[in-house]
């Protein structure tokens, strides 16, 4: 184990960590923005939108993230009309391709999480809100959605961790994320596992931090669902 | 476990020592994976011919370029036949036989790109694709610090990104780029950019077979086998299948 080479190249890994965090959180953010209206549309069975979202979720949950990334990065670039369009400004860059793939993928999973949380809202909560004389809008925004968001937290925490791990796919389209840094280190010094081991350690630390943060959030927002201690 | 079974099998049937040879399979026309999954190319034929010459049965092991030296060191294979240049840097880690071919290197880009690598700063700000962990990466890093270097796992991927217009140039060895890309239908509209080049400090002594340090017996046997194939005409027979010129070099 050549720890010295890892330490000597800490900058490589620092830049890689930054790249991974950037992609992961931006993808989660965009994914969430897609998922919130999609999840609501799905749970309401809104005509047309519900079917559209259904198709989207099927497509992105039905195929591996790696394949989606390849299709967006190598696939779209094969068409001349894509390369001649305004979209090429973004699709040209591997960073945007990765972000688009990750965001759409994360959005499809988050849609299902939100749909599930909305559909399992206890009837009593809605009935109580109606009894208080809240308007339909108020019920949605003051009761239904906040309640569903709280109960979606544990599953969404999983999705965040999956996205972090899934972001390692960025390294196959030339991006220097954490895994990319590990591969570069391996290639430069002909090492077998030092780069991968360092990458694994970094992903693990990030995962632990995220899991810890979600524990805290759950402790705060799901307090009312815990059994009361005597 | 597989090694154990293989070893037991060897003891039971044949005293000959079976060689595992690492090849890449993504570097046409030297090494490529055909549609049915079988390996073809100059390196593949050369590996088989060398095995025949030293009288051993060989198993070809397909390994990504990134992991090919580690695979040798971890005894997943005993020799690398993957157009690997014998360089000082790699010799710190593994040993090489005598070369089995040596060709110059070049940049390839759009025929109408108007890029001139020879002009001072001629490549500054240009995006150049190279395979990760190759002499080509090292060459660009040394001679063109102003270049934005994009690294790929295989040369095939770099070529895909050149044709999609994501990168301005690719760098690689001349024969590989000409035969594997420029002279194929996919390479229409692309051409060599600037002069060919060879920097001994970086490009080393040509492509050779890599073996583990200390495997001197195998190394010397393979070196002798390369020369023997040259002598017997078998080498020419193989290279004629792929190239119009003699790629052995002087």
Q: Which residue of B has its CA nearest to A92?
A: B166
For range B189-196, the mean pLDDT: 95
Q: Quick one: what percent of chain B has pLDDT higher than 70?
A: 93
Q: Which of B70, B151, B157 sits opposite A191 (nearest CB)?
A: B70
- Confidence label for B15 from pLDDT (cuts 50, 70 and 90): very low
What pLDDT, in 10s, does the model give residues B41-78?
A: 999 999 999 999 998 899 999 999 988 999 999 999 99
Total Cβ atoms within 10 A of residue A39: 27
Residue B4 has pLDDT above 80, yes or no: no
Q: Which residue of A has its CA nearest to B154?
A: A172
Point out which residues pair with B27 in neighbouring strands.
Answer: B31
| Under 8 Å between Cβ of B169 and B126 | yes
User: Structure tokens of A27?
Assistant: 């993808």
Q: Could you give the residue range(s) of every CATH 3.40.190.10 domain in chain B?
A: 2-102+205-240, 105-202
Euclidean distance between CA atoms A197 and A124, whole angstroms? 51
pLDDT of amino acid A46: 87
pLDDT of amino acid B7: 52
pLDDT of amino acid A189: 85
Q: Which residue of B has its CA nearest to A194?
A: B70
Report the SS3 class of residue B219: helix
| Under 8 Å between Cβ of B37 and B205 | no
Residues of A in contact with B165 (CB under 8 A): 77, 83, 92
Touching check for B127 and chain A: CB below 8 Å? no
| Under 8 Å between Cβ of A204 and A212 | no
Cβ <8 Å between B151 and A174: yes
- Report chain A residues touching chain B, CB-CB < 8 A: 74, 77-78, 83, 92-94, 172, 174, 183-184, 186-188, 190-193
For range B122-132, the mean pLDDT: 93
Cβ <8 Å between B164 and A172: no
Residue B1 has pLDDT above 80, yes or no: no
ipTM over 0.85: no
Cβ <8 Å between B93 and A174: no
Multiple choice CATH, B2-102+205-240, 2.40.170.20, 3.40.190.10, 3.10.105.10, 3.40.50.2300: 3.40.190.10
What pLDDT, in 10s, does the model give residues B69-90?
A: 999 999 999 999 999 999 988 9
What pLDDT, in 10s, does the model give residues B19-38?
A: 999 999 989 899 999 999 99
Residues of B in contact with A83 (CB under 8 A): 164-165
Residues of A in contact with B148 (CB under 8 A): none
Q: Which residue of A has its CA nearest to B75?
A: A192
The CATH number of the structural domain formed by B105-202 is 3.40.190.10
pLDDT of amino acid A121: 94
Residue B167 has pLDDT above 70, yes or no: yes
Q: Which domains does chain A have, with CATH numbers?
A: 3-223 (1.10.3720.10)
User: How many angstroms away from the CA of B9 is the closest CA of chain A?
Assistant: 29
> Which residues of chain A are under the pLDDT cut of 70?
230
Cβ <8 Å between B70 and A83: no
Cβ <8 Å between B67 and A174: no
Residues of A in contact with B90 (CB under 8 A): 190
pLDDT of amino acid B6: 53
Residue B111 has pLDDT above 90, yes or no: yes
| Under 8 Å between Cβ of B207 and B83 | yes
User: How many angstroms away from the CA of B237 is the closest CA of chain A?
Assistant: 34
Q: Which of B132, B165, B166 sits opposite A184 (nearest CB)?
A: B132
Cβ <8 Å between B90 and A191: no
Indicate which of B155, B166, B167 best probes the interface with A, i.e. most A CBs within 10 Å of its own CB: B166
Q: Which of B73, B94, B166 sits opposite A92 (nearest CB)?
A: B166
Q: Which of A83, A184, A186 sits opposite B165 (nearest CB)?
A: A83
Cβ <8 Å between A174 and B150: yes
User: How many angstroms away from the CA of A77 is the closest CA of chain B?
Assistant: 5
């Amino acid at each position: 184990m050549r720890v010295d080479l890892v330490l000597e190249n800490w900058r490589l890994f620092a830049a890689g960590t930054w790249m991974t965090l950037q992609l992961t959180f931006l993808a989660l953010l965009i994914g969430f923005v897609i998922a919130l209206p999609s999840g609501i549309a799905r749970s309401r069975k809104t005509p047309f939108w519900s079917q559209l979202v259904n198709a989207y979720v099927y497509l992105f949950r039905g195929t591996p993230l790696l394949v989606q990334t390849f299709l967006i990065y190598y696939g779209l670039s094969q068409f001349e009309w894509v390369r001649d369009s305004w979209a090429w400004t973004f699709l040209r860059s591997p960073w945007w391709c990765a972000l688009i793939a990750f965001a759409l993928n994360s959005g499809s999973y988050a849609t299902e999480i939100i749909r599930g949380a909305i559909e399992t809202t206890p009837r009593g909560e809605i009935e109580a809100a109606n009894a208080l004389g809240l308007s339909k809008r108020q019920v949605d925004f003051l009761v239904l959605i906040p309640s569903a968001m709280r109960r979606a937290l544990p599953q969404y925490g999983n999705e965040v961790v999956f996205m972090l791990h899934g972001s390692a796919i960025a390294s196959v389209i030339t991006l220097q994320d954490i895994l990319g840094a590990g591969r570069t280190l391996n290639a430069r010094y002909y090492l077998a596992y030092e780069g991968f081991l360092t990458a694994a350690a970094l992903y693990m630390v990030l995962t632990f931090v995220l899991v810890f943060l979600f524990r805290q959030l759950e402790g705060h927002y799901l307090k009312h669902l815990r059994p009361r201690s005597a | 476990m597989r090694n154990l079974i293989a070893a037991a099998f060897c003891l039971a049937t044949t005293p000959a020592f079976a060689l595992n040879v690492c090849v890449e399979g993504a570097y046409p026309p030297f090494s490529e994976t055909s549609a049915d999954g079988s390996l073809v190319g100059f390196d593949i034929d050369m590996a088989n011919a060398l095995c025949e010459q030293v009288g051993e049965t060989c198993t070809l092991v397909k390994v990504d370029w990134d992991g090919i030296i580690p695979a040798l060191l971890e005894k997943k294979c005993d020799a690398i036949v993957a157009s690997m240049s014998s360089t000082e840097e790699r010799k710190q880690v593994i040993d090489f036989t005598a070369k089995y071919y040596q060709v110059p290197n070049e940049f390839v880009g759009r025929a109408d790109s108007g890029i001139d690598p020879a002009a001072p700063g001629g490549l500054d700000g240009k995006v150049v694709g190279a395979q990760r962990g190759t002499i080509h990466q090292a060459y660009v890093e040394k001679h063109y610090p102003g270049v934005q270097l994009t690294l790929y796992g295989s040369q095939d991927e770099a070529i895909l990104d050149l044709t999609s217009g994501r990168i301005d140039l690719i760098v690689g060895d001349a024969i590989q780029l000409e035969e594997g890309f420029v002279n194929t239908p996919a390479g229409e509209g692309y051409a060599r950019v600037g002069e060919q080049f060879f920097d001994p400090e970086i490009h080393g002594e040509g492509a050779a077979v890599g073996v583990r340090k200390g495997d001197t017996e195998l190394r010397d046997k393979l070196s002798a086998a390369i020369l023997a194939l040259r002598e017997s005409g078998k080498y020419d027979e193989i290279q004629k299948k792929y190239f119009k010129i003699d790629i052995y070099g002087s």
